[in-house]
Amino acid sequence: MSHRIFVTGIGIVCAAGNSASETLSSLAAQKSGISGMQYLDSRLKDLFPVGEVKLSNKDLCDNLSLPIKNYSRTYLLALAAAREAAGEMIENYNSSRLGIVSGSTVGGMDLSEKYFQSVYAGIDADISDLKQHDCGFSTEFIADKLGIKGYLSTVSTACSSSANSIIHASMLIKSGIIDAAVAGGVDSLAKFTLNGFNSLKILDSKLCSPFDENRNGLNLGEGAAFLFIESERSASSHMNDVICEIKGFGNSCDAFHQTAMSEEGIGPKLAMRSALNSALLDPSEIDYINLHGTGTSNNDLSEGLAIEEVFSGAIPFYSSTKSYTGHTLGAAGAVEAVISALSLKTNTIYPNINFATRMKELSTAPVSAIMKKDNLRNIMSNSFGFGGNNSSIIFSKVE
């Protein structure tokens, strides 16, 4: 029995683009989607740029052919990306053998915030809006709209949520529980998360510069991204649609701190080594790492030192694409999984835009210009979350 997992569809909506093709165009043009707030009404709107999707909720409803209702923005973004990833392939499957695993941390918090704001202001509000608060609502929403009747699960492990969704779905396929899955995640911007990150003093008032010596924090973003993944047997009838293979993955939890990683990068090292072992690859076989790379002092130092130890003597090219999208929280792992798939498809490494100065603690620096690499074969994508939940996934070209 083959345990290979193939990616045959990708979908994304983020600050850099409203589809995979638009996002690819922004990456190729080195164009960041991070700008001032347009849709989130926050007292901090003039202080911090964000990676906001350039569509209103009405625009999203129109694009999805949905009636204009009081939907959470989270679920509209999720459906847009999931529908693009699944495409027409979903019609070829027994719905009971098809799964969906989605990661989120914000859920329908945007509607909850509006509800309580109205209540405090003495304005009539519909308490039924609170039904959408739960993170699992978005998964059910996608399953209902796409007709998925098999396995359904929601993952919430902070900023590694959607990476863990991809890992979980891959394990389900490997074990024969399902044949294929829509796997990824979503988060929209909310006042709660913006204020929370501001209280931690890790938001940058300018465009973020991950892995730069003078980095000053992160830019929050929003978005959704999903992969359509299949077993080898399931994909065998349409191998021409295969984008890449999920070669291996690893997860660890060092439980070092609620909002920080150990300076030695213990958790990241464990996750990356586990992924390499799962993929049966030597560190020297990784060609590029899509960093978690948030732009905070703690994350970049911890991740950088961990990479230098795991890949000692053969450090791959690396960069953080959060400089294009912002940090999309629970969606980050899936957003960067889609970008990794696009890198393999185009044989291109997309750079850290805004990078200027190498960190003094590191011996190497991230890629800072577009790099074409014909022998790009194996990409590691890192996603590290609050509470020490760390995940690494390896995507590989199918020969």
From CA 185, how far away is CA 104, in angstroms rounded?
6
- Reduced to 3 states, what is the DSSP secondary structure of residue 297? helix
Q: Which residues of 229-268 are buried (b: 16+ CB within 10 A; e: fewer)?
A: bbbbebbeeeeeebbbbbbbbbbbbbebeeebbbeebbbb
From CA 8, how far away is CA 179, in angstroms rounded?
13
From CA 167, how far away is CA 257, in angstroms rounded?
24
Placement of tokens 């021409």 in the chain? 240
327 is known as an active-site residue: yes
Bridge partner residues of 107 (DSSP): none
Q: Provide the 8-state DSSP code for 73.
A: H
Q: Which of 229, 200, 260, 219 is nearest to 390 (CA)?
A: 260
Residue type, 38: Q
From CA 291, how far away is CA 303, in angstroms rounded?
8
From CA 348, how far away is CA 152, in angstroms rounded?
34
Q: Which residues of 66-99 are buried (b: 16+ CB within 10 A; e: fewer)?
A: eeeeebbbbbbbbbbbbbbbbeebbeebeeebbb
**Active-site position among 135, 159, 208, 244:** 159
159 is known as an active-site residue: yes
Bridge partner residues of 229 (DSSP): 7, 181
Which burial class, exposed, middle or buried, applies to 334 when counting CB atoms under 10 A from its CB (0-12, 13-18, 19+)? buried
- How many other β-carbons are positioned within 10 Å of the β-carbon of residue 129? 19
From start to end of 57-179, where are the E strands?
A: 98-103, 152-155
Q: Which of 148, 219, 138 is nearest to 185 (CA)?
A: 138
Give the residue numbers annotated as catalytic, written as ranges: 159, 292, 327
